[in-house]
Structure 1
Amino acid sequence: MADWLTGQVVENYQWHPDLFSLRVMAPRFEFTAGQFVRLGLTLDEQRVQRAYSLCNAPDDAVLDFLVTRVPQGKLSTALAELKAGDSVALSQPATGFFTLQEVPDGDSLWLLATGTGIGPYLSMLATSEPWQRYKRIVLVHAVRFAADLAYQSLINSWREKYPQQFHYQPIVSRENVPGVLRGRIPQLIKSGDLQRACQTDLNPRSQVMICGNPDMIRETRKLLDELGLPKNLRRKPGNVTVEQYW
C-alpha cells in the first residue's frame, strides 16, 4: 500500500485553460527519470487520485506535473483550481519502468509522445544519460493544436546546447502551423515524412520510446514491428519501449 507525502503548490502555470503545469514542493524523495507518482486530493470526503509523470529532473527541488483538464474530470478540474500555498498529496514511492535503464543502447533515440505524454521525456532529457548514450536524439510531440506545445523554452535550450545531437519535431493534427508537420505519428512514419523532417532513419540501430494515446501506441508499435523494430522486453531486448499513459 502506498505511503503519502503532503506537498505545497508553488505555481500553477496555465499554458491554456485546459492545460497546466502544477509545480509542487514536497519532502525530497528519490526517483528515476520517467517514473510517476499519484497526485491525490480529498474531494467530498474521499481521496481521489491519479498517476502523473514527473517532468522535472530527479535532483530538482520543485516537482513538475503536466496536466490536462478533462471534461467532467473530478480530479483534474480540482487540480486546475489549486493556487500557490494549497496542499496536494503525493504517493510514495515513485514507480514505473518507462526509464532509460530499460532501453538498450543504439545510435539514435526516438522519443514519441502525444499530449501530456511528453512529460517523462522532459525528465529524461534533463539528465546527462541520454546525451551520453545516443549520438542522435529525436523528440516528437504530437498535439491537436499549437497551443498544446508546452515547454518550448526548455526544449529550445536543448536545441541550442546540442544543435547536432538533438532534433525537436512538433506535429499538429487540427490546424496548419508554419514549419510544423500536420497529421498523426503513425501515418507520418509510414509515409517517411517524419524521418525526412527529422533527418534521421528508423532502423535496427534505433531505439524508440512511445508514450501517450493508446491508439497511437498500438498503431505505431504495429508499424515499427513491420519495419523490423520489435518491442523491447527484458527477456528479449528489442527496439520499442512503451508506456500506456492511460
Structure 2
Amino acid sequence: MIQWISGKVVENYRWSSGVFSLRVVAEPFDFKAGQFVRLGLNIGGEQLLRAYSLASAPDEAILDFVIAEVEDGEVSTKLAQLQPGDSVYITQPAGGFFTLDEVPDGDSLWMLSTGTGIGPFISMLRTEKPWERFKRINLVHGVRVAEDLVYQGQIEQWQQEYPGQLGYQPVITRENIPGALSARIPELINSGQLSNALETPLDTSAQVMLCGNPDMIKESRAALAELGLAKNTRRKPGNVTSENYW
C-alpha cells in the first residue's frame, strides 16, 4: 500500500542548465541502493507524481535525487524551483529491482549510464557492497555536453580511496573533450573502444548494469549479446541487468 511522507528541501544544487540535485530530509525509511520513489507536488490542487531513483545511500540522513529539468515538464520544472525549506512529498515504500542483490558475482562490474541514469550507480557506490564484491568497477556516463557530467568530485574521491579499483569513463556525444569518448555507448561496445579505454575485458567474466535512455539500453543489450553476455533474470542468471530511466 502506497503511503506518503513529507520532506523538506535542504539544498537545490544546480549542476548545469538542465540538471540539478534536489536534496531532502524526511523521516527515515528503508530502501536499497538503486531503488526509486515518487516525488509529489501539489499543483493547482492536484497531486502530481514522478518517479526518481535515489542517489544517496540508504544510511544517509539526506536524500539525494539527480533530476533532469524537462522543458515544459509539468513536475521537473516545479521541482527545479524549490528552495530550502520548501515541502515535497515522497511515496513509500521504495520500488524497483535494479539493485546489486539481483546481480550475480563476476570479476568486474560495469555501470553504464546516460544522463540522470547515473543516480542509482552513485547510490550503490556510496555503499560498501560493490567494493567488497568486485575486483574492478567501471563507471561509464554518457551525456551530450560536458556540463552534464555530475558527481565529478565524488568520483575522484572514490578513485583515491580505492586506487586501481574504480575506472571512470565519460562519454560526450556533442563536444570533443580530452579524456572523453565521443561515440554512443553501444558503438563503443561494438568497436572495443570501451573495454580498451578502461583496460578491462568485457566478456562473460563481467557483470553489466545499464540505466538510462531506452534506446541505449536496447542497443547495448544487442552489442553485449554479440560478446556472449546474456540478459540476467531471476529464473536464468546472466551478465546484463538493466533499467529504463523513462
Equivalent-residue separation in structure 1 for 2:150 and 2:17 (angstroms)? 13
Deviations 1:103-125 (A, max 9, x none): 00000000000000000000100
The answer to whether 1:51 aligns with 2:51 is: yes
SS of 1:228's equivalent in the other structure is coil
One-letter amino acid of the counterpart of residue 162, structure 1: Y
Q: Which runs of 4+ in 1 moved over 2 A?
A: none
Note if 1:84 corresponds to 2:54. no
Q: CA deviation at 1:16?
A: 1.6
How big is each residue's C-alpha offset from its partner over 1:45-66, in whole Å with a ceiling of 9 and x where there is no partner? 1011010000011100000000
Shift of the alpha carbon at 1:17? 2.4
Correspondence for 2:21 = 21
Q: State the alpha-carbon separation in 2 of the partners of residues 9 and 92 from structure 1.
A: 18
- Superposed CA RMSD: 0.6
Give me the TM-score of the superposition, normalised by structure 2.
0.99
The 1-side partners of 2:5 and 2:200 are apart by 43
Structure 2: distance between partners of 1:17 and 1:108: 34
Shift in Å, 1:73 = 0.3
User: Where does the alignment leave 5 or more consecutive residues of structure 2 unmatched?
Assistant: none
**1:94: Cα distance to partner?**
0.6
Q: Give the corresponding residue for 1:111.
A: 111
Task: Give the drift of 1:175.
Answer: 0.5
CA distance in 2, matches of 1:183, 1:44: 43
Secondary structure of the residue aligned to 1:85 is coil
Distance across 1 between alignment mates of 2:195 and 2:220: 14
2:58 corresponds to 1:64:
no
Question: How many residues get paired?
Answer: 246
Q: How far is 1:210 from its partner?
A: 0.1
Name the structure 1 match of 2:75: 75
Q: Does 1:202 align with 2:219?
A: no
Counterpart of 1:144, as a letter, is R
CA separation in 2, counterparts of 1:17 and 1:240? Answer: 32
Give the AA of the match of 1:228.
G
Task: State the 1:7 CA deviation.
Answer: 0.1
Say yes or no: does 1:126 pair with 2:130: no
Structure 1 match to 2:7: 7
Per the TM alignment, residue 163 of structure 1 is displaced from its structure 2 partner at its CA by 1.7
Match of 1:191 in 2: 191
Give the fraction of aligned pairs with identical amino acids, expressed as a percent.
61
Alignment correspondent of 2:34:
34
